[in-house]
Amino acid sequence: MGYDGGCDGNLEQGMQCLDSQGGLVSETIKELAKTSFAYQRKRTGGLQKLLARHVPRQLLRRGKRLLMLPMDGMDFLLGRRGELVPPRYLNFAGDGDFKAAGDEFLKYFVELGGLSPAHRVLDVGSGIGRMARPLTRYLSGGSYEGIDIVPQGIEWCQRNISERYPNFCFQLADVRNLMYNPQGRFEAAEYRFPFGDGDFDFTCLTSVFTHMRNREMENYLLEIARTLRPSGKCLATYFFLNSESRTLIEAGRSSLDIRYPLDGCWTSDEVVPELAIGFDEGYVRKLYADLGFVVETVQYGEWCGRREYLSYQDIIVARRRP
């Protein structure tokens, strides 16, 4: 498609593109394809949609608690849960293997995003610590700030992560989102991050812009540009709508039917649009360029039924212009 610095196509093309831009990719990236994050999201997507549509949130939470309690009990008895892993009934922020997904993305942060141990990291939509957990082992000398809109996630991370890793901080942003925080006080489209200009070396958003609308995502990107230092990097995941993904959706091959228009973006569900939101890839690339980012790579995901991919969602890494 000829966008500046981006890679259009499959994993192999993406890797060639990255190599030509300074050898960012190592062999380990190849090994990351077909990971648990990629597959487990796909398997549970339909059920999640059905439940979110037809069952009130309170009831869903209680049901999940009841379903998960025996498994949590078994994890506890068998000593299976692992360090910094929340009980299953509390995990609202992603299906699949909690540890595997975090480990998978740490590799992307380092290999694609150039993260180093001394960096100051901002995790927007930090959930219940899925990305923070592997970062506690990686960031030596560096520090981490997580913001999220769900109080239970922030409280769990403060109690379980910050207490042991004082360089890891978590803050609640009481921002409205139909799926995660319908009663939130602030609009995401107007929210100002509680950090200073140029505070961070690296910002990540894993599976967050996939739940936010057009104006909200635009404002968050503006805030990310403001809070990143010059040449700082941002790795974010999306569902990119381009000719390939649109054709696959049209052909019924996609795990998400992102075809319903929604004021500058598209959703898979007209009733609860925040379940899965996709953006036109060209529009996002232009937005990045307009906000002073250089797109370093795009790695396409498997969500739409692609045969060659890196992860489940599409991944974009961009650098703030100096």
Enumerate binding residues for ligand SAM (CB under 6 A). Answer: 93-94, 124-125, 127, 130-131, 147-150, 153, 173, 175, 177, 180, 188, 206-208, 211-212, 216
| CB 162 within 8 Å of CB 168 | yes
The residue nearest ligand SAM at its CB is 127
- Minimum CB–partner distance for residue 32 and ligand SAM (Å): 16
Residue 203 or 254: the one with the smaller Cβ distance to ligand SAM is 203
Residue 124 or 316: the one with the smaller Cβ distance to ligand SAM is 124
- Minimum CB–partner distance for residue 127 and ligand SAM (Å): 3
Residue 93 or 258: the one with the smaller Cβ distance to ligand SAM is 93
The SS3 assignment for 319 reads: strand
- Minimum CB–partner distance for residue 121 and ligand SAM (Å): 13
- Minimum CB–partner distance for residue 37 and ligand SAM (Å): 9
| CB 306 within 8 Å of CB 254 | no
- Minimum CB–partner distance for residue 204 and ligand SAM (Å): 8
Residue 216 or 281: the one with the smaller Cβ distance to ligand SAM is 216
Residue 193 or 293: the one with the smaller Cβ distance to ligand SAM is 193
Residue 149 or 284: the one with the smaller Cβ distance to ligand SAM is 149
Beta strands 120-124 and 143-148: pairing type?
Answer: parallel
Q: Which amino acid would we find at residue 241? A: L
Residue 35 or 177: the one with the smaller Cβ distance to ligand SAM is 177
Residue 37 or 309: the one with the smaller Cβ distance to ligand SAM is 37
- Three-class HEC string of the chain: CCCCCCCCCCHHHHHHHHHHCCCCCCHHHHHHCCCHHHHHHHHHHHHHHHHHHHCCHHHHHHHHHHHHHHHHHHHHHCCCCCCCCCCHHHCCCCCCCHHHHHHHHHHHHHHCCCCCCCCEEEEECCCCCCCHHHHHHHCCCCEEEEEECCHHHHHHHHHHHHCCCCCEEEEECCECECCCECCCCECCCCCCCCCCCCCEEEEEECCCHHHCCHHHHHHHHHHHHHHEEEEEEEEEEECEECHHHHHHHHCCCCCCCCCEECCCCEECCCCCHHHCEEEEHHHHHHHHHHCCEEEEEEECCCCCCCCCCCCCCEEEEEEECC
Residues 6+ apart with CB under 8 A from 159: none
d(CA 253, CA 247): 9
- Minimum CB–partner distance for residue 58 and ligand SAM (Å): 17
- Minimum CB–partner distance for residue 317 and ligand SAM (Å): 16
Residue 5 or 102: the one with the smaller Cβ distance to ligand SAM is 102
- Minimum CB–partner distance for residue 209 and ligand SAM (Å): 9
Task: Give strand pairing partners of 298.
Answer: 316
- Minimum CB–partner distance for residue 303 and ligand SAM (Å): 13
